[in-house]
Homo-oligomer: A and B are copies of this chain.
Amino acid sequence: MPSLTDLASHFGGEVVGNGNVAIDAVASLSEAKAGQLSFYELSLPKEVLLESKAAAVLLKKEVAADCPLPMWVVSKPRLYFAQVAKALNAKPARFAASITGISSKAFVADGADIHKSAAIAPLAVVEAGAKIAADVFIGGNAVVGGNAVVGEGSVIFPGTVLYPNVIVGKRCIIHAGAILGSDGFGFVADEKGRQVKIPQLGGLILGDDVEIGANSTIDRGALAETKIGDGVKIDNLVQIAHNVHIGDNTVICGCTGVAGSAVIGKNCMIGGAVKILGHIVVGDNVMITFSSNITKNIPAGESVSSCMPAMPIARWRRFVASLSD
Residues of A bordering B, CB below 8 Å: 26-28, 30-31, 43, 76, 78-79, 81-83, 85-86, 90-98, 105, 107, 109, 121-123, 125, 127-128, 139-143, 145-147, 157-161, 163-165, 173, 175-177, 179, 182-183, 185-190, 193-202, 209, 211, 213-217, 219-220, 222-224, 231, 233, 235-237, 239, 241, 249, 251, 253-255, 257, 259, 266-267, 272-273, 275, 277, 279, 288-296, 298, 302-313, 315-316, 319-320, 323-324
A185 touches B236 (CB 8 A): yes
Inter-chain CA distance A22–B317, complex, in Å, is 49
B199 touches A26 (CB 8 A): yes
Inter-chain CA distance A307–B219, complex, in Å, is 24
Residues of B within 8 A of A310 (CB): 288, 292-295, 298, 304-306
Residues of B within 8 A of A305 (CB): 310-311, 313, 316
Residues of B within 8 A of A231 (CB): 194-195
B254 touches A241 (CB 8 A): yes
B290 touches A223 (CB 8 A): no
**A31 in complex: contacting residue of B125, B146, B223, CB < 8 Å:** B223
Residues of B within 8 A of A90 (CB): 199, 201
Known: A97-B164, A175-B182. 4 other contacts (CB 8 A): A107-B140, A145-B158, A235-B239, A311-B324
Q: List 12 A-B contacts (CB under 8 A).
A: A30-B224, A31-B223, A95-B164, A98-B109, A107-B123, A159-B159, A185-B254, A213-B217, A235-B241, A305-B311, A311-B324, A319-B323
Residues of B within 8 A of A97 (CB): 127-128, 146, 164
B146 touches A95 (CB 8 A): yes
Inter-chain CA distance A307–B313, complex, in Å, is 10
